[in-house]
Amino acid sequence: MLDIWLSGIEGLLQVRELAFLGLGMAIGLAFGAIPGLGGSTALALLMPLTYGLEPFTALALAGGVMGAVPMGGSITAILLNAPGTAPNAATCLDGYPLAQQGKAGLAIGAAASANSIGGIIGTLSVLAVLPVAKELVLLFGPPEFFLLALLGLVVVATTSHGKMLRALVAGGLGLMISFIGYNDVYGDERFTLGVPYLWDGVHLVPALIGLFAVAEMINLMVKGGAVSHDARNVKITRISSGLVETFRHWGTVLRGSLIGTVVGAIPGVGGVVASFLSYSLTVQASKDPESFGKGNIKGVIAPEAAINAKDGSALIPTLAFGIPGGAEMAVFLGILILHGLQPGPLMLVQNQREIYGLVWALTASCVLASFIGLILVRPLALITLVDSEILAPVVLCVAFVGSYAIDANIGNVVLTAGFGILGYLMLRFDYPRLPVVIALVLGSTAERNFHQSMMMGDGSWAIFAGRPIALILAALIAALLCWPPAQALLRRRDNRGTALAGAGKP
């Protein structure tokens, strides 16, 4: 096992790989710092550019981006109360009050060191689980893979923060789109409307560029203005004392990292849940809960540790089952597929060097990006002063040309525009976009495994009932679908009880 880990490190310690890792970190920090962009947009834009690279180099670049985005996001969360990425929103709660008190450096220093430690703990979890994951994946046949794909979709829908119905609609739309093109099992052509470009189905990468990069730019164009209008907001002091504070509150770092690790390994749950869960548990465990929200440094450390730990463990479902842990991992999955790396059992066996290289790249990026972030914090914060009217056209040009460059096909550009408009409409009308992405990724896998299962069972649905893992997965799906209504019922009963108790008082 050690030799495989070492081969990953050895592969990463090449000039070319290190250069791309550094480039990825710089891009990740910049995209993380711009609210609304984040890791998925950065990866979506970079995806076509990696086409000419070796898979290992492309993964080093992607690892650099993914490890650095949270650090970039925490800078704007603390300085401007504008989280660069959604999970950094929890950091705003205490980070921004600290910045208002003139302690921005303290908060950024603490966020950087918590980020690094969280990243390392996340990596340790991947190293521990990946060898076992290989054995586990081999227990899965077509019925289990079909149900697992379904579970991935249901998890995403039920964890969409009170928008289960809209998430299910978005997932259904994604599935319908994923069936366009040649049918894997029966070989006939479906829903192509006679367009030859669609024979291969909807190309994942241009669709993702549209859904994330283009949609966010349209949104920025509509909102207008810059993120910050006042350059005086961008001032930083006392960074080193923040580093000391993190080590003083090691229990908070450890708790946050463990929460991030566990939550990250659950497909579709994502960083927002990890960071807010870590924050709220830290508040509950505190002897001084009233100080949170007013500038308690533990309120910065807890979510930041969770965010980076989550990135490592989110690789487990992505690499082992091909089920992305979140939007960023879904786009990352696109990079893997673009380079001919098919996530799943075979990848765990055949591409161990690439996998461990990626794990190390992610870890190095988490740690190094924190230091680089501290050095570059002032110029990075200035990005938020760039007006959207300048930023949007430039990013759109890179997005569209990048989409074309994947296979020099102008059809990609049209597809990207279509998905960009779809993505904006989803943002505007409050439909989550992640279920569409997950459905696009899992749709054909689910259908293929469904047909294979039915063939295995001679057309009988009993095939799903006769296998223990399939039964567990089916029970999980049913439980998850029932959970939000059950929660609503319990809440209603509680409210009624409180109302009755209130009415009974003299």
Candidates 18, 124, 221, 471; binder of another protein (CB under 8 A) is: 221
| Interaction of residue 195 with another protein, rule CB under 8 A | no
Q: How many CB atoms lie within 10 A of CB 258?
A: 18
Instruction: State how far the Cα of 336 lies from the Cα of 16, in Å rounded to an integer.
Output: 19
Q: If we measure between CA atoms, which residue out of 462, 476, 444 comes closest to residue 200?
A: 444
Could you tell me the two tokens for 200?
A: 């291969």
| Interaction of residue 496 with another protein, rule CB under 8 A | no
CB nearer to another protein: pick between 164 and 333: 164
| H-run or E-run covering 182 | strand 181-182
Pairing outcome for strands 189-190 and 181-182: antiparallel
Shortest gap between Cβ of 215 and another protein (angstroms)? Answer: 10
Q: If we measure between CA atoms, which residue out of 456, 387, 457, 469 comes closest to residue 145?
A: 469
Could you tell me the two tokens for 472?
A: 């567990």
Beta bridge partners of 190: 181
CB nearer to another protein: pick between 41 and 115: 41
Shortest gap between Cβ of 443 and another protein (angstroms)? Answer: 9
Interface stretch with another protein, choices 29-37, 103-111, 173-181, 472-480 (CB under 8 A): 173-181
CB nearer to another protein: pick between 191 and 250: 191
- Tell which positions 242-281 bind another protein, by CB under 8 A: none
Q: If we measure between CA atoms, which residue out of 70, 370, 132 comes closest to residue 265?
A: 132
Shortest gap between Cβ of 78 and another protein (angstroms)? Answer: 25
| Interaction of residue 288 with another protein, rule CB under 8 A | no
| Interaction of residue 183 with another protein, rule CB under 8 A | yes
Q: Where are the alpha helices (DSSP H) in 296-409?
A: 298-313, 315-321, 327-338, 345-350, 352-382, 388-405
| Interaction of residue 190 with another protein, rule CB under 8 A | yes
- Tell which positions 365-394 bind another protein, by CB under 8 A: 387, 389-390, 392-394
Contact present, 116 and 308 (Cβ < 8 Å): yes
CB nearer to another protein: pick between 254 and 457: 457
CB nearer to another protein: pick between 344 and 418: 418
CB nearer to another protein: pick between 124 and 173: 173
Phi, psi for 234 (deg, rounded to 5): -100, 60
Candidates 18, 19, 23, 49; binder of another protein (CB under 8 A) is: 49
Instruction: State how far the Cα of 289 lies from the Cα of 246, in Å rounded to an integer.
Output: 18
Phi, psi for 139 (deg, rounded to 5): -80, -10
| Interaction of residue 430 with another protein, rule CB under 8 A | yes
Candidates 421, 469, 471, 474; binder of another protein (CB under 8 A) is: 421
Shortest gap between Cβ of 199 and another protein (angstroms)? Answer: 15
Shortest gap between Cβ of 302 and another protein (angstroms)? Answer: 24
In angstroms, what CA-CA distances link 235 with 30, 72, 239, 317, 378? 17, 15, 12, 40, 7
Residue with tokens 């006392």: 238
| Interaction of residue 127 with another protein, rule CB under 8 A | no
| Interaction of residue 214 with another protein, rule CB under 8 A | yes
Instruction: State how far the Cα of 319 lies from the Cα of 64, in Å rounded to an integer.
Output: 17
The tally of CA atoms less than 13 A away on the side-chain side of residue 244 is 6
| H-run or E-run covering 154 | helix 142-158
| Interaction of residue 16 with another protein, rule CB under 8 A | no
Candidates 156, 413, 440, 442; binder of another protein (CB under 8 A) is: 413
Could you tell me the two tokens for 373?
A: 């972030």
| Interaction of residue 172 with another protein, rule CB under 8 A | yes
Shortest gap between Cβ of 13 and another protein (angstroms)? Answer: 24
Candidates 85, 400, 434, 437; binder of another protein (CB under 8 A) is: 400
Site string for another protein, 146-165 (x = CB under 8 A): ---------------xxxxx
Instruction: State how far the Cα of 478 lies from the Cα of 490, in Å rounded to an integer.
Output: 18
| Interaction of residue 188 with another protein, rule CB under 8 A | yes
Q: If we measure between CA atoms, which residue out of 298, 331, 297, 326 comes closest to residue 312?
A: 326
Secondary structure (3-state) at 31: helix
**CA 196 centroid distance within chain:** 33
Q: CA angle, 29 as apex, 25 and 33 as ends, to 5°?
A: 170
**CA 122 centroid distance within chain:** 14
Contact present, 434 and 325 (Cβ < 8 Å): no
| Interaction of residue 339 with another protein, rule CB under 8 A | no
| Interaction of residue 191 with another protein, rule CB under 8 A | yes
CB nearer to another protein: pick between 231 and 488: 488
- Tell which positions 57-96 bind another protein, by CB under 8 A: none
Residue with tokens 């990006």: 369
Shortest gap between Cβ of 397 and another protein (angstroms)? Answer: 5
Count of residues that bind another protein according to CB under 8 A: 66
Interface stretch with another protein, choices 95-103, 126-134, 359-367, 425-433 (CB under 8 A): 425-433
Contacts with another protein by CB under 8 A lie at: 49, 51-52, 161-166, 168-169, 172-173, 175-176, 179, 183, 185-186, 188, 190-191, 214, 217-218, 221-224, 387, 389-390, 392-394, 396-398, 400-402, 404-405, 408, 410, 413-414, 416-417, 420-421, 424-425, 428-431, 446-447, 450-451, 484-485, 487-488, 492
